[in-house]
Chains A and B, each alone.
Chain A
Amino acid sequence: MKDREAVLLRPSLGRTLFFVAIAAMSLVAIDSTLAKTERLETAAQAARFYGEGQRLVRDGKYAAAAESFRSAIANARDNTEYPLALGRALLGAGQLEDAGTALAELLKADAMAGAPNLEMARVLAKQGQLEEAAFYYHRAIYGQWGQDANANRVATRFELADLLAKRNSKADLLAELLPLQDQASIDANTQKKLAGLYLTAGSPARAATILRDLVRAQPQDVEAHSGLGDAEFARADYAAAQSAFVAALRLSPNDTHVQSALELTDRVLILDPMRRGLSGQERYERSVHVLELVAAKIPQCITAAQATADADLINAVNAALKQRVAVPGQTDAVEANVDLANKLWQAERTTCASAVSPEDQPLQLVLAKAAQ
């Protein structure tokens, strides 16, 4: 009875559901068409804004470009290229906070995306937040890159290395260079850059190895010869440095850097009592000369810094000069003289605390080499 009442109450349920189904299908068709049209139009609009922004970036109008990129984003929020472009434009415009915000949004969606991490690292580096910048550089290095992933990773690591070189963070820099040596391409420029960074990181031996190979491969490369000279000079192999500089100067006689480096190297070699191939007598005379040069600086220093002069230093000079006369044998005498000269030099550096003059540079280098 109850069922019959229900049926009587709703005689048109089936028919209504049929019409509802027809209406729903029609609406699906309408919605699909409209949605597709809208998607196409907004994507085209976004692309127009993006193109305009790119043009403005090329013209150096970063602030205006950022506005165009914002409009592009508003039209196509799924596109990750647009927020990245916005971040770059804002970075270019010097709006670092806004750039950071834009990139942070992008990174929220994909924390390991390579390019946004790199841009974020650049923003933070510009803000002076170097620790944080290094963190994002590393995320960029180990993150996801669409095309040319290896090249991008190497370039990013080089950028980080440059930043660390500027900060003079030698240990950190060396830690970046070691993997770079395996990843970087073997082209000459990359190898020369790598060698330069090794020099900055305080690893001239590695730099010299790279450049020696390069010189062998490209004997006409002036920069390679010059770089090798610098590397050999840094590792105190002045004879090798001289050879490299001479080779470089032969290829490029007007290179002032090589000229001055060679001149300095020559002066060091003339002064160096430890240079290979010298006779015992010559070695001894050079050691005496070095001692005399250092000793001669003491009174100058005292005169120049009368306020800080003290009796202990004077006594040390006199004692040293007496020791010079009392040397028992020639070989020992060379070492003793050089050792004394080193002590005096250190004392002079401590007391005077002035910058080493260009004239004293060879002396300093000889003493440094002897101290090793």
Chain B
Amino acid sequence: MTATPRTLTSRLHSWIEELRHSENQLTLFLSLVVGVLVGLVTVAFILLTGRLAAHMYPAGGAGWRRILVPTLGSLFTGYLLVRYFPFARGSGIPQTKFALVVNDGNIKLRTIVGKLLCCSTSLASGIALGREGPSVQVGAGVASVIGRNAGLKVEQVKALIPVGCSAALAAAFNTPIAAVMFTLEEIMGDLHATVLGTAVLSSAASWMVLHFFLGDDPLFHVPAYRLVHPAELAVYAVLGVVGGLGSVAFVKLLLGMRARFLRLPARTVWMHPVAGGLLVGLLGYFFPDVMGVGYQYVDRVLNGDAVLKMAVLLGALKIVATATCYASGNAGGIFGPSLFIGAMMGAATGGVAHKLFPGVTADPGAYALVGMGTAFAGIIRTPFTSVIMIFELTRDYTIIVPLMISNAIAYFISQKLQHATIYQALAAQDGLHLPTHSHAPSGPGNVTLAMRTSPPMLPAQMSVEAAMRQMKDSELDAWPVATDRGLGGMIRRADLGKAIAAGSDGITLGSLLDDLSAGNPTLDEFPHIHPDHSLHVALERMGTSGLDVLPVVSRANVRQLMGIVALDDVLRVYRVLGRPSRTEPGEGALP
């Protein structure tokens, strides 16, 4: 009678032992586990948000609720975010990239719980943000927690992060292919990343969980649109221009407002989200469709139920509402709002085109559909993902070519007018320097190969003469300067010489650095390099800055000096100056 349970237990034990010994099996198994678990968590997140919203806004509820609920909701979540869950603020994508690139794949369970709780509350209360970005952080967090608790190595935990991301996005957006694409394109920054297989596995598992609980229903129900006339492609190109400019306007407004909020006193941070909540409430009192993510209204617009003036108005109001909600520190993402904004821009462009050229243009709904992808490509800047995502959201292939044209134009305009992507810029505002795809390691290797220990930092209060005396015998052309916040920049021997020649009485290194960086908007812009940058990037930055020595700084904190890289050291690695010295460069690679 007892033989069977014993057999099962022993089988389970031997299977776990087997897993312990096989890297590949363990990776695949954990990817599946992460996919299922993240799917379950995301479904809970979606349903919880829906249930909360149903209670906050009962059918036939009074209009004043639309002002009071988001205001109180943002106040509540603002307090929670400051007091208990400081890492659960915002979208979650930059935080995920930070964890992956800088923090050894470490996302705490507390952050996951905080993200779920705060996002559910704020999204249900009508805050004009989306659930997709937060889901990505939650998914990555689940993967991180499982990986770390299972005793995986740091690299294995990091490899599990994109697995969690793709699972989360697959369930949150009901787009399993786009989830994998986004993970590779945005999170990993590499479409050929080795995690492709495991990301696909987790995405599929998560998507199946979603379907098990919520059924097979696309996010949007779209009639079969088609290209009415080849000349219509010109209108889609115009939509690309409109989408590109609109995306840049949104991103710049959001970043600008966020910069202003970040400058406010730290003690007021807990009440910042109320600004977003109150604004959304006031706008929502008159235009309820501005509230929340607005997918229901998008669905109506996609089905041709759009009035031109309303589309323009709601598009503009959504830009303001989402930018304010995000900038003020509410918990939520910008995926969903991007789609709303894009749909309105598309409907407006299509509405005008259809009025002017009714014979050769489709219904505005078709333009709203393309507009969604266009705004996504312009704001998030993942053009491949946006094409696949629209296809998956609508399950309509016929509009893909116009979508590609429009996306490409919007992406190009956005890239020209806003150099950094929104997630890079947001991370930079928080003092995090996330890697970009263009800075992926290439050539002989990364900066750590040529990195050496930094000489002692010169205090900012030191006079230029004293600094010159200290640098006189050094082989280095530039030295780091320490301010009260950490590294303040690099000072060149030539700059010191010029200052002394010009009469340097009372001039300190700090004031000299201020004078030298007068053209830059912030001191964060001083030339630097990160350890994972390629040596190509180091040479490029040396060329543009005119410095022979660059500080190597942490991605988590640009003022944390990790070492320096000198031109000669780089050239040695390139074998231009003979073999690299094994005693100097590389010695201080890891502090």
30 contacts between A and B (CB under 8 A): A3-B21, A7-B17, A7-B20, A7-B21, A9-B153, A10-B152, A12-B150, A13-B26, A13-B150, A13-B151, A15-B149, A16-B149, A16-B151, A17-B16, A19-B149, A20-B37, A24-B40, A27-B37, A27-B40, A27-B44, A30-B44, A31-B47, A35-B47, A35-B214, A38-B50, A38-B51, A41-B54, A45-B59, A48-B59, A74-B296
Interface 1/0 per residue, B180-218 and A, CB below 8 Å: 000000000000000000000000000000000111010
The winner among A2, A17, A30, A74 for most chain B CB atoms within 10 A is A17
B36 interface hit (Cβ, 8 Å): yes
Closest beta carbon of chain B to A342's beta carbon, Å: 57
In whole angstroms, how far apart are the Cα atoms of A37 and B17 in the complex?
A: 41
Contact A10 B20 (CB under 8 A): yes
Contact B217 A77 (CB under 8 A): yes
Interface 1/0 per residue, B275-300 and A, CB below 8 Å: 00000000000000000000010010
A149 interface hit (Cβ, 8 Å): no
In whole angstroms, how far apart are the Cα atoms of A204 and B149 in the complex?
A: 90
Can you name 13 extra interface pairs (CB under 8 A) apart from A7-B21, A13-B26? A2-B21, A9-B153, A10-B20, A10-B26, A10-B150, A14-B13, A14-B16, A24-B40, A27-B37, A27-B40, A30-B44, A38-B47, A105-B223
Q: Closest residue of chain B to A11, judged by CB? A: B151
In whole angstroms, how far apart are the Cα atoms of A256 and B147 in the complex?
A: 94
Q: Closest residue of chain B to A74, judged by CB? A: B296
Q: Which residues of B contact A2 (CB under 8 A)?
A: 21
A319 interface hit (Cβ, 8 Å): no
Sorted from nearest, which 10 A-B pairs have the closest CB atoms? A10-B151, A34-B47, A27-B40, A16-B149, A16-B150, A35-B213, A14-B16, A31-B43, A13-B150, A31-B213
B413 interface hit (Cβ, 8 Å): no
Closest beta carbon of chain A to B347's beta carbon, Å: 17
Contact B151 A31 (CB under 8 A): no
Contact A20 B33 (CB under 8 A): yes
Q: Closest residue of chain B to A98, judged by CB? A: B304
Residues of chain A in range 335-355 having any CB-CB distance to chain B below 8 Å? none
Closest beta carbon of chain A to B197's beta carbon, Å: 21
A32 interface hit (Cβ, 8 Å): yes
Q: Which residues of B contact A23 (CB under 8 A)?
A: 37
B269 interface hit (Cβ, 8 Å): no
Residues of chain B in range 27-81 having any CB-CB distance to chain A below 8 Å? 33, 36-37, 40-41, 43-44, 47-48, 50-51, 54, 59
Q: B51: which of A17, A37, A48, A101 is its contact (CB, 8 Å)?
A: A37
Q: Which residues of B contact A16 (CB under 8 A)?
A: 146, 149-151
Q: Which residues of B contact A20 (CB under 8 A)?
A: 33, 37, 146
A293 interface hit (Cβ, 8 Å): no
B226 interface hit (Cβ, 8 Å): no
Closest beta carbon of chain B to A64's beta carbon, Å: 15
Q: Closest residue of chain A to B300, judged by CB? A: A70
B221 interface hit (Cβ, 8 Å): yes
Q: Which residues of B contact A11 (CB under 8 A)?
A: 151
In whole angstroms, how far apart are the Cα atoms of A38 and B54 in the complex?
A: 9
The winner among B43, B151, B299 for most chain A CB atoms within 10 A is B151
B571 interface hit (Cβ, 8 Å): no
Q: Which residues of B contact A41 (CB under 8 A)?
A: 54
B428 interface hit (Cβ, 8 Å): no
In whole angstroms, how far apart are the Cα atoms of A41 and B149 in the complex?
A: 39
Given A12-B150, A13-B150, also A24-B37 (CB < 8 A): yes
Number of A-B contacts (CB under 8 A): 79
Q: Closest residue of chain A to B148, judged by CB? A: A16
Number of residues from A at the complex interface, CB < 8 A: 34
Contact A28 B37 (CB under 8 A): no
Q: Which residues of B contact A356 (CB under 8 A)?
A: none
Interface 1/0 per residue, B423-462 and A, CB below 8 Å: 0000000000000000000000000000000000000000
B227 interface hit (Cβ, 8 Å): no
Q: Which residues of A contact B146 (CB under 8 A)?
A: 16, 20
Contact B44 A12 (CB under 8 A): no
Given A12-B151, A13-B19, A16-B146, also A34-B51 (CB < 8 A): yes
Contact B40 A31 (CB under 8 A): yes
In whole angstroms, how far apart are the Cα atoms of A48 and B214 in the complex?
A: 22
In whole angstroms, how far apart are the Cα atoms of A6 and B50 in the complex?
A: 44
Residues of chain A in range 285-344 having any CB-CB distance to chain B below 8 Å? none
In whole angstroms, how far apart are the Cα atoms of A37 and B223 in the complex?
A: 30
Q: Which residues of A contact B20 (CB under 8 A)?
A: 3, 6-7, 10, 13
In whole angstroms, how far apart are the Cα atoms of A3 and B37 in the complex?
A: 28
Q: Closest residue of chain A to B54, judged by CB? A: A41
Closest beta carbon of chain A to B10's beta carbon, Å: 13
Closest beta carbon of chain A to B171's beta carbon, Å: 11
Contact A28 B149 (CB under 8 A): no
Residues of chain A in range 35-89 having any CB-CB distance to chain B below 8 Å? 35, 37-38, 41, 45, 48, 74, 77-78
In whole angstroms, how far apart are the Cα atoms of A28 and B26 in the complex?
A: 24
Q: Which residues of A contact B223 (CB under 8 A)?
A: 101, 105
Contact B40 A28 (CB under 8 A): yes
Contact A9 B51 (CB under 8 A): no
Q: Which residues of B contact A12 (CB under 8 A)?
A: 149-151
Q: Which residues of A contact B47 (CB under 8 A)?
A: 31, 34-35, 38
Given A13-B19, A17-B16, also A34-B149 (CB < 8 A): no
Contact A27 B149 (CB under 8 A): no
Q: Closest residue of chain B to A35, judged by CB? A: B213
Contact A34 B16 (CB under 8 A): no
In whole angstroms, how far apart are the Cα atoms of A37 and B299 in the complex?
A: 24
In whole angstroms, how far apart are the Cα atoms of A280 and B473 in the complex?
A: 152
In whole angstroms, how far apart are the Cα atoms of A88 and B185 in the complex?
A: 47
In whole angstroms, how far apart are the Cα atoms of A74 and B302 in the complex?
A: 14
In whole angstroms, how far apart are the Cα atoms of A113 and B48 in the complex?
A: 37
Q: Which residues of B contact A38 (CB under 8 A)?
A: 47, 50-51
Q: Which residues of B contact A10 (CB under 8 A)?
A: 20, 26, 150-152
Q: Closest residue of chain A to B303, judged by CB? A: A101
Closest beta carbon of chain B to A77's beta carbon, Å: 6
In whole angstroms, how far apart are the Cα atoms of A77 and B36 in the complex?
A: 26
Residues of chain B in range 139-156 having any CB-CB distance to chain A below 8 Å? 146, 149-153
Q: Which residues of B contact A77 (CB under 8 A)?
A: 217, 221
Q: Which residues of B contact A17 (CB under 8 A)?
A: 16, 33, 150
In whole angstroms, how far apart are the Cα atoms of A364 and B589 in the complex?
A: 116
Closest beta carbon of chain B to A89's beta carbon, Å: 15
Q: Which residues of A contact B296 (CB under 8 A)?
A: 74
Q: Which residues of B contact A9 (CB under 8 A)?
A: 151-153
In whole angstroms, how far apart are the Cα atoms of A74 and B298 in the complex?
A: 12
Q: Which residues of A contact B41 (CB under 8 A)?
A: 27
